[in-house]
C-alpha cells in the first residue's frame, strides 16, 4: 500500500472512531413515576423535559425516560419501584409521600429525586433539609403548611362559613398531616368541621352522602388518589352546592372552585436540575432539599357562577389565573 493511501485510510478511521464511540455509549436512563395519568400530568412532564433539554439532556440522544403511572392506586407504588430497580435506571423522579417511601424501601442505591412531597423530614424521607443523606433529595411542596391560608380564602368566598368538610386520603401520611393542620386552622378560625377519611375511590360517594346538608364548603387535601378522582370529587361537590378549595391548578381545571399552592410546573422544572447534578456525579444526599418559590391562586369563574358564588374584585385581582 502506498504511503499516501495508508495515511488517508488512517485519517478516515480516526475520524470514525468518535462516531463509533458515541454510537456505543449507553444512554442514561431516568425512571419517571407519575401520581396520576400521562394526560393528567402532561404539563408537568413538559416542564421537566424542557428543562432537561436546556441542560443538554435530550430524549433519544443523551437520555431515555421510562415513564410509569400509578393512577392513584397504592398497590402500584411498590410495583413501579421494583420495575425501576430491575431496569437499573440511573435516577428515579417521583412525587407523593407514599410513592417516595415505597421507592426508598425498594432501593438504597439508585438516586431518588422527589418533585413534590409535603414534609420530607417528618415523614422520614431525609435526615434534614440541608443535608438529606442517603439516596433521596428533591423539593418540598409545603402543602400542609398552607392549610390556614387556604381556609381563610375559602371563608372570604363564603363569608357565612360556619362548617367545612375536609376530604383526605388517610392512607397518605402527608394527607393525614394536612388533615391535622386544617383541623387546627379551623379551630383557630372558629369553624366546625367534618373529616371525610377515604382509603380508595369507592369511599368518595359515601363520604359525600355523610355530609349531605351538613356543611357549607369542602377543603380537599391533594394526593395521588384524589388527583385521579378529581373530576368525580368536583362533580359531587357541585351537585351538593359546595365551594371547593384545592392545592393545585389541575383541580380547578377539572371543575374545582379555587386552589392555592406551589406552582407545580416550576417545581418539576427544578427537579430536572437535581437530575442534571446527579447524572454529572453529585450525590443526592449532599444536595439540599428546596422549597417552593412560586405560589399560585387559581379561580374558576364558571364554577363560581354555577354555585351562585360571587368572587370579590379583591380576590380576582390577587388571582394568578382566572379560568372561564
- 98-128 pLDDT tens trace: 899 999 999 999 999 999 988 899 888 999 9
Classify residue 130: in a domain, yes or no. yes
Q: Closest Cα partner for 59 from 82, 79, 41, 32?
A: 32
Phi, psi for 261 (deg, rounded to 5): 180, -175
Burial of 125 (0-12, 13-18, 19+ CB in 10 A): buried
Same domain, 240 and 104: no
Classify residue 231: in a domain, yes or no. yes
Q: Closest Cα partner for 31 from 129, 107, 122?
A: 107
CATH of the domain at 58: 3.40.50.2300
- The DSSP bridge partners found for residue 69 are 34
Same domain, 271 and 219: no
Residue 137 and residue 161: Cα distance in Å, rounded?
Answer: 40
Same domain, 53 and 69: yes
Q: Which residues of the chain have pLDDT under 50?
A: 1-10, 12-24
Q: Which residues contact 135 (CB under 8 A, 6 or more apart)?
A: 104, 107, 108, 109, 110, 111, 112, 284, 285
Classify residue 246: in a domain, yes or no. yes
Same domain, 30 and 172: no
Residue 317 and residue 306: Cα distance in Å, rounded?
Answer: 21
Same domain, 108 and 60: yes
**Per-residue pLDDT at 122:** 85
**Per-residue pLDDT at 114:** 97
Q: By percentage, how much of the chain surpasses pLDDT 90? A: 77
Give the tens place of pLDDT for each residue, 150-193: 999 999 999 999 999 999 999 988 899 899 999 999 999 999 99
In the chain, the number of structural domains is 2
Print the domain residue range for 43. 25-140+264-293
Same domain, 174 and 305: yes
Burial of 262 (0-12, 13-18, 19+ CB in 10 A): buried
Q: Which residues contact 24 (CB under 8 A, 6 or more apart)?
A: none
**Per-residue pLDDT at 143:** 64
Same domain, 198 and 318: yes
Distances (CA, A) of 82 to 3, 75, 105, 107: 58, 12, 10, 9
Instruction: List, in sequence order, every beta strand (DSSP E) within 9-162.
Output: 28-34, 63-69, 91-95, 112-117, 136-140
Same domain, 167 and 205: yes
Same domain, 159 and 63: no
Same domain, 187 and 224: yes
Classify residue 153: in a domain, yes or no. yes
CB burial string 276-299: b at 16+ within 10 A, e below: bbbbeeeebeebebbebeeebbbb
Classify residue 6: in a domain, yes or no. no
- Predicted TM-score (pTM) of the model is 0.81
Classify residue 18: in a domain, yes or no. no
Sign of CA dihedral 172, 278, 31, 86: negative
Same domain, 193 and 305: yes
- The DSSP bridge partners found for residue 67 are 32
Q: Distance from CA of residue 196 to its chain's centroid?
A: 22
Classify residue 12: in a domain, yes or no. no
Same domain, 303 and 224: yes
Number of neighbours of residue 160 by Cβ within 10 angstroms: 6
Query: In 3-state terms, what secondary structure has residue 300?
Result: strand
Classify residue 17: in a domain, yes or no. no
Amino acid at each position: 500500500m502506498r504511503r499516501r493511501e495508508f495515511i488517508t485510510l488512517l485519517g478516515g478511521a480516526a475520524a470514525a472512531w468518535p462516531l463509533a464511540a458515541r454510537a456505543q455509549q449507553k444512554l442514561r436512563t431516568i425512571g419517571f413515576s407519575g401520581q396520576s395519568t400521562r394526560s393528567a400530568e402532561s404539563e408537568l412532564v413538559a416542564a421537566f423535559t424542557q428543562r432537561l433539554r436546556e441542560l443538554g439532556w435530550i430524549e433519544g440522544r443523551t437520555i431515555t425516560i421510562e415513564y410509569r403511572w400509578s393512577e392513584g392506586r397504592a398497590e402500584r407504588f411498590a410495583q413501579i419501584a421494583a420495575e425501576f430497580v430491575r431496569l437499573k435506571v440511573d435516577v428515579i423522579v417521583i412525587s407523593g409521600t407514599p410513592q417516595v417511601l415505597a421507592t426508598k424501601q425498594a432501593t438504597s442505591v439508585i438516586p431518588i429525586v422527589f418533585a413534590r412531597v409535603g414534609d420530607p423530614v417528618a415523614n422520614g424521607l431525609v435526615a434534614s433539609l440541608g443535608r438529606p443523606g442517603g439516596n433521596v433529595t428533591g423539593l418540598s411542596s409545603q402543602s400542609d403548611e398552607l392549610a390556614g391560608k387556604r381556609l381563610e380564602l375559602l371563608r372570604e368566598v363564603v363569608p357565612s362559613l360556619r362548617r367545612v368538610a375536609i376530604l383526605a386520603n388517610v392512607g397518605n401520611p402527608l394527607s393525614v398531616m394536612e388533615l391535622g393542620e386544617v383541623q387546627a386552622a379551623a379551630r383557630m378560625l372558629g369553624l366546625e368541621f367534618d373529616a371525610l377519611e377515604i382509603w380508595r375511590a369507592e369511599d368518595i360517594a359515601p363520604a359525600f352522602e355523610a355530609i349531605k346538608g351538613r356543611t357549607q364548603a369542602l377543603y380537599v387535601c391533594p394526593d395521588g388518589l384524589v388527583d385521579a378522582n378529581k373530576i368525580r370529587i368536583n362533580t359531587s361537590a357541585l351537585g351538593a352546592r359546595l365551594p371547593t378549595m384545592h392545592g393545585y391548578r389541575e383541580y380547578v381545571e377539572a371543575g374545582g372552585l379555587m386552589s392555592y399552592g406551589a406552582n407545580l410546573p416550576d417545581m418539576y422544572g427544578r427537579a430536572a436540575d437535581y437530575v442534571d447534578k446527579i447524572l454529572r456525579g453529585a450525590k443526592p444526599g449532599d444536595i439540599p432539599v428546596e422549597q417552593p418559590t412560586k405560589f399560585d391562586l387559581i379561580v374558576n369563574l364558571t364554577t363560581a357562577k354555577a354555585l351562585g358564588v360571587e368572587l370579590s374584585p379583591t380576590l380576582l385581582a390577587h388571582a394568578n389565573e382566572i379560568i372561564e
